[in-house]
């Protein structure tokens, strides 16, 4: 049995009765302070999201077709498109790093835009498209991995890095990526859980109003006879929750907590921590110019920026490449250990730390994007040539592994043993 009038917080599992009008509300969980997904509407209409998605798709095609930057030195000019950046890494036998850059900057953002359009256009016309569930689950899967805004910052850092070596000419694609970064902010406000609600609205149009279930607010799903779907958030009765039960709306498997969450998070963290050492010790770039060769590590690059007076750049790269991965490793280790011991220590603070890790994790890809653009741009034959080093592979793997680890961690574990919840006034 489904309960469409109930909604569960995706982080701490507290049950709420849905407010009568979902639109225009930004609801926060009264227990852990998370934004309640699916309720948040952010003032966006379906028309506006559709228009921005179409515009983004066109801009993306422009961004892919034209060069991002051009470099001119001694009368020789070299251009680099995003595809050429991926190709340059591939030719340097950095196949995994090339695949990472290709997926995060080309494949996943494009997939998200096409899939969103496939869902939004029929919904706007009052129809539910075929394979709605699978396509929306695809959007939910690829969204955290599309990194257009991080790539944009990577381009800006590459410009500042190159400016002392040669004349840097911004090209069409740079402006397209600037526009895309803004448009993706609008698209990010369109929560996939809102689309699940919208699908229900379209399908039940003219149907009976949902009956109000006499459940009390502010009780956890665990302490009642309910279980909430991890993918779309629909609340089900526990009687329907057998070991192989699936969600009635999105067909995802139903379980109270993600299975094996602690073991998986810990395994991924261990792998990331081991790779963090070669990521900092091995060179991420080899530079050869006029017979001289030089190896650059991440820390060496930061020191170079600092010595040459570019301290804001040194601070940005230090925060993104050194501090963020270390913070992520430390916070996720704390979360795994406290969850493993079933601790009820400072749940609100731990929930805030978890949300911070989810938000900042992607920004560590910055250095990988800077390396790929630099490698594609500096190809002046015997004059100067830059290739990617093994440190780039180790560093990229650390970023991907820590993102997978924070995905594998179930935030409900933080609240599992917290009996007395601090009640806050709903926002
Ligand atoms: Zn909550
Ligand atoms: Zn579901």
Q: What is the pLDDT of residue 239?
A: 65
Q: For residues 101 and 367, what is the distance between their CA atoms, to the nearest angstrom?
A: 11
Q: What is the pLDDT of residue 205?
A: 65
Q: For residues 231 and 176, what is the distance between their CA atoms, to the nearest angstrom?
A: 33
Q: Give the Å distance between the CA of 27 and the centre of ligand 1.
A: 11
Q: What is the pLDDT of residue 299?
A: 92
Q: What is the pLDDT of residue 210?
A: 41
Q: Give the Å distance between the CA of 266 and the centre of ligand 1.
A: 24
Q: Give the Å distance between the CA of 341 and the centre of ligand 1.
A: 21
Q: For residues 368 and 386, what is the distance between their CA atoms, to the nearest angstrom?
A: 14
Mean pLDDT along residues 52-71: 95
Please give the C-alpha separations between residue 396 and each of 284, 326, 372, in angstroms, as whole numbers.
10, 14, 12
Higher pLDDT, 239 or 200: 200
Q: Give the Å distance between the CA of 351 and the centre of ligand 2.
A: 23
Q: For residues 111 and 117, what is the distance between their CA atoms, to the nearest angstrom?
A: 10
Name the nearest CA neighbour of 241 among 252, 4, 232, 231. Answer: 252
The answer, yes or no, to whether residue 163 has pLDDT greater than 70, is yes
pLDDT digits (tens, 9 = 90+) for 280-309: 999 999 988 777 888 989 999 899 889 988
> Mean pLDDT across the chain, nearest whole number?
85
Q: Give the Å distance between the CA of 352 and the centre of ligand 1.
A: 11
Q: Give the Å distance between the CA of 19 and the centre of ligand 2.
A: 20
Higher pLDDT, 345 or 61: 61
Q: What is the pLDDT of residue 283?
A: 94
Q: Give the Å distance between the CA of 252 and the centre of ligand 1.
A: 21
Q: Give the Å distance between the CA of 40 and the centre of ligand 2.
A: 18
Q: Give the Å distance between the CA of 317 and the centre of ligand 1.
A: 34
The answer, yes or no, to whether residue 423 has pLDDT greater than 60, is no
Mean pLDDT along residues 37-53: 71
Q: Give the Å distance between the CA of 96 and the centre of ligand 1.
A: 37
Q: Give the Å distance between the CA of 229 and the centre of ligand 1.
A: 15
What is the pLDDT confidence band of residue 245, given thresholds at 50, 70 and 90?
A: confident
Is 341:126 a contact under the CB 8 Å cutoff?
no
Which ligand is closest to the CA of 234, given by its number?
A: 2
Q: What is the pLDDT of residue 37?
A: 62
What is the pLDDT confidence band of residue 2, given thresholds at 50, 70 and 90?
A: low
Which ligand is closest to the CA of 193, given by its number?
A: 2
Q: What secondary structure letter does DSSP report for 94?
A: -
The answer, yes or no, to whether residue 342 has pLDDT greater than 90, is no
**Residue 384 phi, psi (nearest 5):** -160, 140
Q: Give the Å distance between the CA of 229 and the centre of ligand 2.
A: 5
The answer, yes or no, to whether residue 326 has pLDDT greater than 70, is yes
Q: For residues 102 and 180, what is the distance between their CA atoms, to the nearest angstrom?
A: 17
Is 149:181 a contact under the CB 8 Å cutoff?
yes
Q: What is the pLDDT of residue 21?
A: 45
What is the pLDDT confidence band of residue 392, given thresholds at 50, 70 and 90?
A: very high
The answer, yes or no, to whether residue 150 has pLDDT greater than 60, is yes
Tell me how many degrees the CA angle 151-155-160 measures, rounded to the nearest 5: 145
The answer, yes or no, to whether residue 145 has pLDDT greater than 90, is yes
Which ligand is closest to the CA of 218, given by its number?
A: 1
Q: What is the pLDDT of residue 219?
A: 66
Q: Give the Å distance between the CA of 329 and the centre of ligand 1.
A: 24
The answer, yes or no, to whether residue 337 has pLDDT greater than 90, is yes
Q: For residues 422 and 241, what is the distance between their CA atoms, to the nearest angstrom?
A: 29
Q: What percent of the chain has pLDDT over 90?
A: 49
Q: Give the Å distance between the CA of 246 and the centre of ligand 2.
A: 8
Mean pLDDT along residues 87-104: 94
């Amino acid at each position: 049995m489904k309960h469409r009038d109930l909604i569960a917080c995706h982080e701490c599992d507290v049950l709420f009765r849905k407010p009568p009008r979902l639109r225009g509300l930004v609801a926060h969980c009264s227990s852990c302070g998370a934004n309640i997904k699916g309720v948040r509407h952010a003032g966006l209409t379906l028309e506006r999201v559709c228009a921005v998605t179409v515009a983004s798709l066109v801009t993306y095609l422009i961004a892919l077709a034209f060069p991002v930057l051009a470099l001119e030195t001694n009368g020789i000019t070299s251009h680099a498109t995003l595809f050429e950046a991926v190709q340059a890494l591939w030719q340097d036998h950095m196949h995994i790093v090339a695949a990472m850059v290709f997926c995060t900057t080309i494949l996943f953002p494009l997939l998200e835009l096409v899939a969103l359009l496939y869902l939004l256009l029929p919904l706007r016309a009052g129809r539910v498209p075929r394979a709605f569930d699978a396509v929306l689950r695809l959007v939910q899967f690829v969204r955290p991995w599309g990194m257009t805004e991080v790539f944009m910052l990577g381009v800006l850092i590459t410009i500042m890095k190159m400016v002392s070596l040669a004349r840097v000419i911004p090209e069409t694609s740079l402006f397209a990526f600037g526009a895309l970064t803004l448009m993706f902010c609008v698209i990010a406000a369109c929560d996939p859980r809102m689309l699940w609600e919208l699908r229900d609205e379209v399908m039940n149009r003219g149907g009976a109003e949902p009956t109000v279930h006499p459940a009390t607010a502010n009780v956890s799903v665990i302490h009642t006879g309910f279980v909430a779907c991890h993918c779309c958030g629909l609340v089900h009765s526990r009687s329907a929750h057998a070991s192989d039960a699936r969600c009635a709306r999105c067909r995802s498997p139903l379980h109270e907590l993600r299975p094996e969450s602690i073991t998986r998070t810990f395994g991924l963290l261990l792998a990331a921590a081991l790779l963090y050492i070669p990521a900092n010790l091995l060179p991420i770039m080899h530079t050869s110019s006029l017979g001289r060769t030089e190896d650059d590590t991440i820390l060496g690059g930061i020191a170079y920026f600092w010595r040459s007076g570019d301290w804001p750049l040194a601070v940005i790269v230090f925060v993104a490449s050194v501090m963020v991965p270390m913070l992520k490793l430390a916070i996720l280790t704390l979360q795994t250990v406290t969850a493993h011991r079933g601790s009820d220590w400072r749940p609100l603070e731990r929930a805030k730390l978890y949300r911070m890790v989810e938000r900042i994790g992607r920004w560590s890809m910055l250095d990988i994007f800077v390396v790929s653009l630099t490698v594609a741009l500096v190809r002046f034959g015997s004059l100067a040539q830059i290739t990617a080093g093994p440190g780039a592979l180790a560093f990229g793997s650390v970023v991907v592994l820590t993102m997978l680890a924070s995905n594998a961690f179930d935030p409900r574990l933080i609240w599992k043993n917290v009996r007395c919840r601090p009640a806050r006034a709903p926002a």
